[in-house]
């Protein structure tokens, strides 16, 4: 795992013990830090996969993961054991004095604009950070390497995976982490010359103070997650911080297809970094026929950003071309799950806002569009550039009635289906060869599914059952 000698002897609180939180606890304790950890989910507290030694059990007596909470909830942090480990305290950071802590490490899912931990940490003079900031602090202890950070409202997962794939194709050691894949602190450090490729949400950037990316990529900014920010400008400013943390001479790649992103490109240039800046212009004509998993105008932008990032890393054109051609895409992002009787079935369940749907609609000629769920907006205007490609629409979920009204009179039939199984059956029955049944919901999934991945898996299972 990735760790740092700089953490030894320091005290940290970790709030949120899902995958990244558990990996953070493990990395901190293995590096000699003292850790107080908490999650409101008792199961996560009890399931920390860490055999710590602690006071009350005797030096050298192993504490199983199942009894951590009862053993350490009220125990003081012990001195170092002979093996060099420090004990883990299971306690809610809101109930303890944070004075003297080196940081409160929170999950990106913790809403800092409303959660009381932010005010408590501020009162104690303790920074609130995330695992990406810890990674940034650990870089000095790692073999010489480079870091690529990718952010944006839409397309960052595909672009992250594509850059990682091209690097692997070129024979460059690389790891993918951040908002995708395995927690970065839980992975084995790369050898010298390796590249860490990090997908970074705005929440993760908010929790990061010192990540100096060798290559920073911004794809686009459209309204999203505004419940966590004081308006759209604040959301855009969060994305801009990725470039503010960079040193001069490091590559800055910015899509300029929207005004907010173009404004950030201007900020980078005005900061005396015009030579660092590569702008990705929208509407560039590209031959995407050789890249089966990178169809549509949105993937043209993703490919351009990945090409620019890999060129900045010194990857040759032959390896870049080979990587683009062999990339298989990511689950739930305009991914073909089957072709039945000449009809293509495409899972784009990750399209949870209207802005991400329009490119998917435009990627196919005649589309039977399945949409709905928990709406993030009361408008589908952002989807309008793709309406000419829609043969029919099939609404599901909580947003179904709203979307039926919004799409009324748009020149294609709209069927109220309610549930995904009904929508798939009706769309499959109506579609003709060379047409596409596209699940691109423009909504969150939580009214009917655990998450967008569960929704996409349900779609694929329903398609599999079609006669």
Q: Which residue has the tokens 């690389």?
A: 174
Q: What angle do CA 428, 434, 440 make, to 5 degrees?
A: 55
The answer to whether the beta carbons of residues 344 and 437 sit under 8 Å apart is: yes
* CA 173 – CA 145 distance, rounded (Å): 10
Handedness of CA 302, 307, 313, 315 (dihedral sign): positive
Please confirm, yes or no, whether 179 is among the known catalytic residues.
yes
The CB-based long-range contact list for 96-99 (8 Å cut-off, 24+ gap) reads 96/13, 96/36, 97/124, 98/13, 98/124, 98/126, 99/124, 99/125, 99/126
Beta bridge partners of 134: none
Of 146, 156, 239, 368, the active-site residue reads 156
Q: Name the strands in the sheet holding 335-340, side by side, starting at the edge strand that comes first in the sequence.
A: 335-340, 343-347, 436-439, 367-372, 390-396, 414-418
Please confirm, yes or no, whether 10 is among the known catalytic residues.
no
What is the DSSP secondary structure assignment for residue 272, as one 8-state letter? I
Helix and strand element counts for the chain (H, E): 15, 19
What is the DSSP secondary structure assignment for residue 418, as one 8-state letter? E
* CA 6 – CA 95 distance, rounded (Å): 26
Angle between helices 317-326 and 297-312 (to 10 degrees): 150
- 3-state DSSP assignment of residue 429: helix
Nearest to 197 by CA among 170, 223, 227, 234: 170
The answer to whether the beta carbons of residues 217 and 178 sit under 8 Å apart is: no
Of 145, 164, 165, 179, the active-site residue reads 179
The CB-based long-range contact list for 375-378 (8 Å cut-off, 24+ gap) reads 375/399, 375/402, 375/403, 375/442, 375/443, 375/444, 376/224, 376/352, 376/442, 376/443, 376/444, 377/223, 377/353, 378/402
Q: What are the tokens at 126?
A: 């303790």
Beta bridge partners of 174: 195
The answer to whether the beta carbons of residues 419 and 448 sit under 8 Å apart is: yes
Q: Which residues are catalytic?
A: 156, 179, 225
């Amino acid at each position: 795992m990735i760790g740092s000698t700089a953490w030894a002897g320091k005290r940290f609180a970790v709030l949120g013990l899902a995958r990244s939180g558990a990996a953070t606890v493990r990395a901190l304790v293995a590096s000699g830090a003292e850790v107080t950890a908490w999650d409101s989910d008792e199961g996560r507290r009890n399931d920390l996969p860490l055999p710590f030694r602690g006071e009350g059990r005797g030096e050298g007596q192993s504490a199983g993961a199942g009894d951590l909470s009862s053993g350490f909830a009220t125990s003081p942090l012990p001195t170092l054991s002979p093996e060099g480990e420090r004990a883990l305290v299971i306690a809610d950071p809101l109930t303890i004095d944070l004075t003297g802590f080196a940081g409160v490490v929170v999950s990106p899912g913790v809403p800092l604009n409303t959660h009381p931990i932010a005010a408590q940490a501020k009162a104690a003079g303790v920074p609130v950070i995330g695992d990406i900031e810890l990674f940034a602090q650990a870089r000095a202890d790692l073999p010489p390497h480079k870091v690529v950070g990718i952010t944006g409202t839409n397309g960052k997962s595909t672009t992250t995976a594509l850059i990682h794939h091209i690097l692997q194709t070129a024979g460059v050691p690389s790891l993918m982490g951040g908002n995708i894949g395995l927690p970065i602190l839980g992975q084995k450090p790369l050898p010298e010359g390796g590249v860490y490729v990090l997908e970074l949400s705005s929440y993760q950037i908010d929790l990061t103070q010192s990540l100096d990316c060798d290559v920073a990529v911004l794809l686009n900014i459209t309204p999203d997650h505004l419940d966590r920010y004081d308006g759209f400008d604040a959301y855009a400013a969060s994305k801009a911080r990725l470039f503010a943390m960079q040193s001069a001479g490091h590559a800055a790649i910015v899509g300029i297809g929207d005004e907010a992103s173009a404004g950030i490109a201007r900020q980078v240039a005005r900061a005396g970094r015009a030579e660092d800046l590569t702008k990705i212009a929208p509407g560039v004509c590209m031959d995407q026929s050789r890249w089966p998993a990178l169809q549509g105008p949105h993937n043209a932008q993703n490919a351009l950003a990945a090409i620019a990032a890999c060129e900045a890393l010194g990857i040759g054109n032959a390896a870049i071309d080979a990587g683009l051609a062999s990339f298989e895409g990511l689950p739930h992002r305009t991914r073909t799950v089957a072709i039945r009787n000449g009809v293509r079935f495409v899972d784009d369940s990750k399209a949870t806002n209207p802005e991400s749907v329009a490119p998917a609609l435009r990627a196919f000629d005649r589309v039977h569009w399945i949409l709905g769920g928990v709406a993030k907006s009361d408008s589908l205007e952002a989807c309008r550039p793709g309406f000419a490609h829609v043969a029919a629409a099939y609404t599901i979920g909580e947003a179904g009635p709203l979307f039926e009204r919004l799409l009324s009179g748009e020149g294609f039939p709209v069927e109220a289906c309610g549930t995904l199984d009904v929508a798939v059956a009706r769309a499959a029955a109506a579609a003709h060869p060379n047409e596409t049944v596209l699940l691109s919901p423009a909504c969150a999934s939580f009214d009917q599914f655990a998450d967008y991945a569960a929704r996409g898996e349900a779609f694929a299972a329903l398609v599999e059952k079609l006669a």
